[in-house]
Amino acid sequence: MFSGVLSIPLIISVPLCVHSPEAQTHLIATIFFVSGLVTLLQATFGIRLPIVQGGTFTFLLPTFAILNVRGPCMTFDPANATSVADAEEFWHGRIRDLQGAIIVSSLVQIVLGCTGAIGILLRFIGPLTIAPTIGLIGITLFSVAEGQMSTHWGIGFLTFALITVFSQLLGNVQLPLPGGKKFPVFTLFPIIISIIIAWVVCGVLTAFGVFPDDPDAYGYQARTDINSDALKNSPWFIFPYPVGRSNGHACRISRHAGWRDCFDDRVHRGLLCMCQTQWCAPPPAHAVNRGIAMEGLGCLLAGLWGTGNGTTSYSENIGAIGLTKVGSRAVIQACGAFLIVVGLCGKLNAIFSTIPVPVIGGVLAVTFGMVGAVGFSNLQFINLNSSRNLFILGVSLFLGIAVPHYIHTTENAIDTRSDQLNQILTVLLETSMFVGGATGLILDNIIKGTPEERGLVKWIEATTVAGEEAEEEETGSHSPVYNLPLIMGLLRKWSWTSIIPISPTFHGFHPKHWRKSNDSEA
């Protein structure tokens, strides 16, 4: 979780053309602050399960597509105050485009969650849609990890090797604690430990003058004193404020609008795993709807605060809960409060900005690879001996790579005589996850195939979270775990709340459920 929240602002600061360490520090502080705020909201008023919220790599591809439309970064003279001011306004303009796109797309997700429409959309989405969509994220982001690792391959591979050793080879090693207890430190914190070790190594090598002082020389980015001015100039406390860089532009709504929400069924699987580790009833429809709507609200807040990214539910903490047996909602609420405090500490976020670039590259090599692998793991549900499925998968992957590459490398590839339409189509077709996912979605629904062949039977068995209303009433719909705080008395008193998809008293839209609700109240 920590590495995901930290690495995203460090990645997007380059295409955003952030020119100063202080501005990068502010980006880091903002995403920590918003992640903590949304975690509190989700655990208290959303799904009410111990799930941490934070930034996501899913947003990176459309982010790069939008910023490519804006053109390359401008050059500026650090010694010229006017030039510095122009550079500041330049990257503010770029992030305003991202703010507008995130805000508009978050409204779509809020509507889908509040109306319960996400369940209808998921009927058309299966493994052959999810696999190319998520898999292409890891494939097409390799250039980002490669670009950062190549600043010093030795440090990059050191970080990569440390993560591999701690997470895969020492995963079962537990450190003894007082009282005879053991703590699985390498299972819970392999990336954080690896970053710290590689960071210290870079600091020692910097102190001994191993890395060059020339900014254009190979290995310079491995130094730990490049952003040392940020430690001096950053205030002790930073309070990120919403719409801090003026109002976002909503013109490039093609960034996320609707598509990210369609793939939020992975939240269903995460919630099911969470309930299995929590030994609680599966969340009913109203809790899932509320969780999706709250995640949309989180994206809205991320857009207003200008993080340059959205928020999503982290599945990493599910495994941590299973290992530590600590699944209290209060613990996650405390985690959210801690993230807020971290976001307010200017000096602490300035320290984060000094992490060497190749160290981040080594982390991304692992995380991007895992993102792609998780996407392709959905193929376990389909029949891979079917020529139909192989055709859909192959065409989706090919078009998901070929079309964005053509749009990116061809000047004026799209010309509709409308600048706005050109930008929208360019952003959509330059985003591999959109092209590959849309291709898989269309072909999977128009080419005839049995539910077993398409993997829908196993898919539904694995992803269903109290989906049937009958199961809902027998398991989770009356579980106090998912009740909202403070207002349950009013919700039970008002019969009309039984038809609101996000209300704990929701029983479905069929009239028989309304009568049942009224009878139970009587």
Q: What is the pLDDT of residues 125-134, one digit of tens each?
A: 889 999 999 8
Residue 209: left (phi > 0), alpha (psi -120 to 50), or beta? Answer: left
Q: Which ranges of the chain have pLDDT less than 50?
A: 246, 248, 251-266, 268-269, 465-477, 513-522
Report phi then psi at 146, rounded to 5. Answer: -65, -40
Domain ranges of the chain: 2-150+160-178+188-372+379-454, 485-522
Max Cα-Cα span within the chain: 80
Q: What confidence score (pLDDT) does residue 464 get?
A: 55
Strand 53-54 with 312-313, pairing: antiparallel
Cβ atoms of 351 and 96 closer than 8 Å:
no
Label residues 286-308 b or e (16+ Cβ within 10 Å = b): bbbbbbbbbbbbbbbbbbbbbbb
User: Where does 116-168 have alpha helices with state H?
Assistant: 118-121, 127-140, 142-149, 153-164
Report phi then psi at 312, rounded to 5. Answer: -150, 170
The model's pLDDT over 61-91, given as tens digits with 9 standing for 90+, comes to 888 888 888 888 877 766 665 666 777 888 8
Reported as half-sphere exposure (CB side, CA atoms, 13 A), residue 517 has a value of 24
**408: nearest Cα among 427, 388, 387, 380:** 427
CA 483/CA 506 separation, integer angstroms? 11
CB-count burial class (<10 Å; 0-12, 13-18, 19+) for 475: middle
Q: Residue 298: what residue type?
A: G
Q: Which residues touch 228 (CB under 8 Å, ≥6 apart)?
A: 354
CA 24/CA 19 separation, integer angstroms? 8
Report which DSSP code applies to 237: B
User: C-alpha distances in angstroms, 142 versus 81, 175, 179, 363?
Assistant: 37, 34, 45, 12
- How many H-runs (helices) and E-runs (strands) does the chain carry? 26, 4
CA 141/CA 498 separation, integer angstroms? 45
DSSP 465-516: SS-SHHHHHHTTTT-GGGPPSS-HHHHHH-GGGGG-TTSTT---SSHHHHHH
CA 392/CA 131 separation, integer angstroms? 11
Q: Which residues touch 189 (CB under 8 Å, ≥6 apart)?
A: none
How is residue 31 written in tokens?
């995403």
CA 79/CA 86 separation, integer angstroms? 13
CA 509/CA 19 separation, integer angstroms? 53
Q: How many CB atoms lie within 10 A of CB 114?
A: 18
What is the H or E stretch that residue 240 is in?
Answer: none
What is the H or E stretch that residue 176 is in?
Answer: strand 175-176
DSSP 262-283: HTTHHHHHHHHHHHHHHT-PPP
CA 457/CA 91 separation, integer angstroms? 48
CA 187/CA 317 separation, integer angstroms? 11
Compute the residue count for the chain: 522
Q: Which residues touch 294 (CB under 8 Å, ≥6 apart)?
A: 38, 41, 42, 45, 46, 47, 113
Report which DSSP code applies to 317: H
**252: nearest Cα among 451, 421, 25:** 421
Q: Residue 283: what residue type?
A: P
